[in-house]
């Protein structure tokens, strides 16, 4: 399954981050993400900020209730259990659930800037950035290069302004289905 996030950095025009999601391996986790992807804050990701950035490690978002890493909720209730740890944090651009311990997944997620295998078995990986897409790679590089302020907040607002699931047409071309 493929999805996308449209992200604005500061006052810039939004860029698109294309994502490959592993609904065959972690279907509940992917369903949580894709459902929240099409809802506006305070009930989903749209118009919410990435609230944490650690250079050479990751950027984190998905706290659409408090905006500071202390909130968020899943489509299954406040939290849901770890689905499995089949996929690893084995690459730049891994897409993984943030949590506060075992079986505490909500809505927060992070995208890695490098291999972070030390997180395997602790956080559920459910996808990765399409590193063959030039715009996605440029955006990931831009995000990693942002300055960081107090509390690991990015120095510029990093806002999810759009997103959705990529639907395949009968023709070989793909169409982005934007939910805003």
60 counts as catalytic:
yes
Give burial (CB, 10 Å; 0-12/13-18/19+) of 167: exposed
- Give the rounded distance of the alpha carbon of 117 from its chain centre: 18
Per annotation, catalytic residue among 39, 51, 52, 128:
52
User: CA 69 to CA 27: how far, in whole Å?
Assistant: 24
99 counts as catalytic:
yes
Per annotation, catalytic residue among 95, 123, 126, 153:
123
Per annotation, catalytic residue among 4, 50, 80, 110:
110
Per annotation, catalytic residue among 22, 43, 57, 156:
57
User: CA 166 to CA 16: how far, in whole Å?
Assistant: 12
Residue 139 Cα distances to 18, 47, 59, 70, 134, angstroms: 10, 18, 12, 26, 9
Residue of 19, 2, 21 lying closest to 124 (CA atoms): 21
Per annotation, catalytic residue among 60, 108, 139, 159:
60
123 counts as catalytic:
yes
Question: Which of helix, strand or coil describes residue 101?
Answer: coil
Per annotation, catalytic residue among 43, 47, 99, 142:
99
153 counts as catalytic:
no
Backbone dihedral angles phi then psi of residue 138, each to the nearest 5 degrees? -60, -45
Per annotation, catalytic residue among 21, 119, 140, 159:
119
21 counts as catalytic:
no
Catalytic residues: 52, 57, 60, 99, 110, 119, 123
């Amino acid at each position: 399954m493929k999805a996308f996030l449209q992200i604005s950095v500061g006052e810039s025009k939004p860029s698109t981050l294309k994502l490959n999601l592993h609904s065959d391996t972690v279907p509940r986790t992917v369903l949580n993400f894709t459902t929240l992807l099409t809802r506006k804050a305070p009930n989903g990701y749209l118009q919410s900020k990435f609230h944490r950035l650690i250079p050479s490690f990751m950027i984190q978002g998905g706290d659409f209730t408090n905006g500071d890493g202390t909130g968020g909720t899943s489509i299954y209730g406040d939290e849901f259990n770890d689905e499995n740890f089949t996929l690893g944090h084995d690459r730049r651009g891994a897409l993984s659930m943030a949590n506060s311990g075992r079986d505490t997944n909500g809505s927060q997620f992070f995208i890695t800037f490098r291999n972070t295998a030390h997180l395997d078995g602790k956080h559920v990986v459910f996808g990765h950035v399409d590193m063959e897409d030039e715009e996605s790679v440029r955006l990931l590089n831009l995000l990693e290069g942002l300055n960081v302020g107090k509390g690991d907040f990015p120095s510029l607002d990093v806002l999810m302004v759009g997103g959705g699931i990529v639907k395949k047409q009968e023709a070989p071309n793909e169409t982005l289905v934007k939910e805003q």
